[in-house]
Structure 1
């Protein structure tokens, strides 16, 4: 199998959303899809992963270390499943997946260089639950090359 591991995101226009399976990022996904529809633009779903955060391939025995390509494909399948579950029928929307073996801030900031809008959840799965803004969202707000929409939970 050829090396399919991607380490940076390069796009040309559209709405970018960071997804990590947290409730906040899934809400961001829904709002990013609405914004992409309003703009008649592509929705770029970015999911950064590492060996620590990637779901393990289901068909890989516990005593075997999966290849990077196997992790990449498992993360892609998991992300596609999340998008299908949250957006339902999204045939009216051009969705492009960017599954990136990279820290989240770097993946999102590289995508922001070509994006019209970057959408992120207020905080992801890590860190401290009481934070108003997670570290990834904070870095995006400070360093993105395009406007950033930070999505708070629906309360």
Structure 2
């Protein structure tokens, strides 16, 4: 871990069971190492969305992601003790790139092995795979 600075573990959170396991693991590791956790959720307009009107208004995608981040962190923080500082961040963009950017200078990047990717994940490449290949810090992929 970095010496002389606040230790930081970045974790991707998307509300899936796999990301909950990743957050749980990151919180336990942070408690052991004295690090803070930086929990990140990113959101994008789905590929099927059009500006002519989709199933949800644009603001609803962001709000759904914000609620997912809050609910997930609240749930897992409640389970884990001792308390670890958690910075929550909601970003607009591709999940893998957001996590790679946030992990710059981090001690560790933690991701779940499967999120909500399915078909689009297969098309674009999985977030965990991209993070493992391109992160500038160690990466832990937590299996559900």
Q: TM-score, normalised by structure 1?
A: 0.72
Report which stretch shifted further, 86-95 or 143-152.
Answer: 86-95
Unaligned runs of 5+ residues in structure 2 are: 1-5, 48-53
Matched, 1:114 2:105: yes
SS of aligned partner of 1:107: helix
Please provide the CA RMSD for this pair. 2.6
Partner of 1:83: 73
Q: How many pairs does the alignment contain?
A: 128
Q: Distance in 1 between matches of 2:115 and 2:55?
A: 30
Mapped pair 1:147 → 2:111: no
TM-score (norm 2): 0.77
Q: Which residue of 2 aligns with 1:65?
A: 57
Q: Distance in 1 between matches of 2:61 and 2:109?
A: 25
Q: Any unmatched runs of 5+ in structure 1?
A: 1-11, 54-61
Q: Secondary structure at the match of 2:22?
A: helix
SS of match in other structure, 1:29:
helix
Looking at structure 2, the residues matched to 121 and 63 of structure 1 have their Cα atoms a distance apart, in angstroms, of: 28
Which of 26-35 and 79-88 deviates more? 79-88
* Structure 1 residues 36 and 127: alpha-carbon distance in aligned structure 2, compared to 1, 3 A threshold: same
Shift in alpha-carbon separation, 1:140–1:91, aligned structure 2, 3 A: same
